Amino acid sequence: MAPWWYTAGSALVLSLQAAAWDYSTYSSIDFQPPKLEVNKTGTTDPGYIFIGPRGGVQAAGTAALIYDDAGDLVYEGPEEITANFMVQKLFGEDVITYWAGDMMHVGYGYGTVHILDNTYKEIYTVRLTGDFVTPDGSTKDSYCDLHESHITPRNTLICTAYNVTQHDLTSINGTSSDWMLDSQFYEIDVRTNHVINSWSALDHEADIPITSSHQGLGKDVGSTQDNPYDAYHMNAITVTNHGYLVSLRHMWSGYYLAQNGSVMWQVSGEDGADFKQVGKADFSWQHDMRVYNETDNGLVLNLFNNANTPTDEQSETTGLSLDIDLSKKTVTGLRELTDPNDPIHSVSQGSYQLLSEIDSHVFMDYGSISKVKEFDGDGNVVFSAQFGEDNDVASYRGYRCQWTATPFWKPSASVTNTTDGATVFMSWNGATEYDNWVVYAAASASSSNTTKIASAKRTGFETKIDLTNPPTSFVQVVARKGSDVLGTSEIVSF
C-alpha cells in the first residue's frame, strides 16, 4: 500500500488521518514533538539530530526539530512544514537553515529558506520571485522548492524550483500540448535575493531527452495544468570545480554541468551512461547526490539510493559511495551501506551525510520511512532512531550536526501546587550550553529581590524541582553553566 503522502503518480500529499506519532508533552512549554526512540549501539560522531517530520494533519510537532542522542528534544521551531533543516556555514559562521512552505500534490513545494544565527534570530530570508506558472495558476510570495537549499562556498544559496509549462509529449504517447514540470535551479545572493545563475532541464532536452525518464506518463497525467507530468524530478545540486552536479531522480542519473549550463557528462544508475560500471555501481530513484574529493581526474559521488517508488520496487534502499574516474571512464562502487537487521524500502526522500572523512561515519535519513541511522567506517550501525510508524511519518532529509546556541528568548517555567508545596518545571528551548538550574523565590510578580531556594542539574529538555513549603508564591528560574548565568525566566506565580 502506498504511504499517505503519495498518490499513484509518486506525489507528496497531506491527507486527513489521526495523530501520526507518539509525542512528548511538557509542563513548561506547549510542545508535542514526536518521541524519538533511540538505540545506540556504538560510538557516534558528535552532534545533534536534525529532522523535519510531518504526518497527516498532525500540526503540533510538525516543525524543524533538534534532538540529542538520548532522544531528548533540544529545539522546536515554529509549527510548519519544513525540509533541509541543518547547520551550514555562511560568511564563516555556523548558521541553521531550513525550507518552510507548502507542499504540492505532485511532489514539490513553494516556500522560503530561513537562515538563523546561534541565538535563533532570523538573519536572512531567501525568496525566489519571477514569472512562474503554478498548477492552479496562483501567484506565490516565493517559488523556492523544498528539495534543495544549499549554501555554497561562495556564500550564495542554491534552491530548486518547479515551473509548470506546456510541452510536446507525443514522444511518450502524450499530446503536443500536454502540461509538464520543468525542473530548475537558481543560485541566489543571500543578502539581496538577486539571482546569480539559473538552469532549466527542459532547455537541455537534446542531452536529457524526456524519453529517458523512468517515470511513466500515467493515465490523465499531463492532460491538464493542475496535473503536470514530472519527467525529471530534480532533488539535489552540488557546486563543483567547473560548475554543478545535478541529480534528476526520474532519470536515475546525475549530470555534471559546466558553468554555462551545458551537460559535460552523465552518470546513470541503470547503465553508467558515459561510464562503464565496475562492481556495485547501479542505483535508482536516488536522492541527495553529493560530490567529494574532486580532482581533474575524477571525484567521489555519494548518494541515497532509494531503489523504490510506490509503484516500482527495485531493491533494498542503501547508501552508496561511487568513484567516478574521468580518465578511465569508469564508475566503481566503493561502499554500500545497509542494516542487515533492518532492511528498508524507502519510496521517497532521504539523505546521505558523510560526517567525517577521517572515520568515514555516515548518517542516513530514510525519508518516507521515519528512521535515521549512523554507520561507522566499517559499515556497522552504531545509532538508530525512529520517530513514527513506517510510511505514516516522513522527514525529507535528516542530519547529525554540531551546534552551539544560546537563544535570544528567556527560559520557560511553570509551577503546580502539591500537598506540601509546589513543583517547578523549567526548559529553555534551543539552548545547548547550560547544565544546571537555580530556583529563586520572589516577593511579588514585579520584585527585583529574590532568594535562592533550590537547584538541580539539567535533565533532558525539561527539568523539575519539588519545593517544600516555599516562602512565597512567586518563583523565578535561572539557567546556568557552572556558576555562570546564561538565561533568566520571567517571575511566575502559583
H/E stretch holding 51:
strand 48-54
Distances (CA, A) of 481 to 124, 457, 478: 30, 10, 10
**Count of Cβ atoms closer than 10 Å to residue 487 Cβ:** 18
Percentage of the chain modeled with pLDDT above 70? 96
pLDDT in tens, 222-265: 999 999 999 999 999 999 999 999 999 999 999 999 999 999 99
Q: Are 49 and 374 in contact (CB under 8 A)?
A: no
Distances (CA, A) of 92 to 84, 89, 100, 156: 20, 6, 24, 13
Residue limits of CATH 2.60.40.10 in the chain: 412-493
Kindly give, in sequence order, each residue whose CB lies less than 8 Å from that of residue 475, ignoring residues fewer than 6 positions away: 413, 415, 422, 424, 439, 440, 441, 442, 453, 467, 491, 492, 493, 494
Percentage of the chain modeled with pLDDT above 90? 92
User: What does the pLDDT average to over 406-435?
Assistant: 97
Kindly give, in sequence order, each residue whose CB lies less than 8 Å from that of residue 122, ignoring residues fewer than 6 positions away: 114, 115, 116
Place of cell 559562521: 93
Residue limits of CATH 2.120.10.30 in the chain: 37-401
In the beta sheet, which residues pair with residue 390? none
* CATH node for 412-493: 2.60.40.10
**DSSP state, 168?**
-
Q: Are 38 and 385 in contact (CB under 8 A)?
A: yes
**DSSP state, 442?**
E
**DSSP state, 265?**
E
Kindly give, in sequence order, each residue whose CB lies less than 8 Å from that of residue 80, ignoring residues fewer than 6 positions away: 62, 63, 100, 101
Say how far residue 262 (Cα) sits from the centre of its chain.
Answer: 29
Q: Is the pLDDT of residue 11 over 80?
A: no
Triad 379, 382, 384: Cα angle to 5°: 110
Q: What is the pLDDT of residue 6?
A: 40
Q: Is the pLDDT of residue 68 over 60?
A: yes
User: What does the pLDDT average to over 137-141?
Assistant: 96
Say how far residue 277 (Cα) sits from the centre of its chain.
Answer: 30
The grid coordinates of residue 165 equal 509549462
Q: Which CATH number fits domain 37-401: 3.40.50.2000, 3.40.50.2300, 3.40.50.10860, 2.120.10.30?
A: 2.120.10.30
Q: What is the pLDDT of residue 18?
A: 52
Kindly give, in sequence order, each residue whose CB lies less than 8 Å from that of residue 346, ignoring residues fewer than 6 positions away: 304, 306, 308, 317, 366, 367, 368, 369
User: What does the pLDDT average to over 472-481?
Assistant: 97
Task: Please name the amino acid found at residue 276.
Answer: K
129-133 contact pairs (CB < 8 A, 24+): 129/193, 130/195, 132/161, 132/163, 133/163, 133/164, 133/165, 133/225
Q: What is the pLDDT of residue 19?
A: 66
Q: What is the pLDDT of residue 23?
A: 96
pLDDT in tens, 284-299: 999 999 999 999 999 9
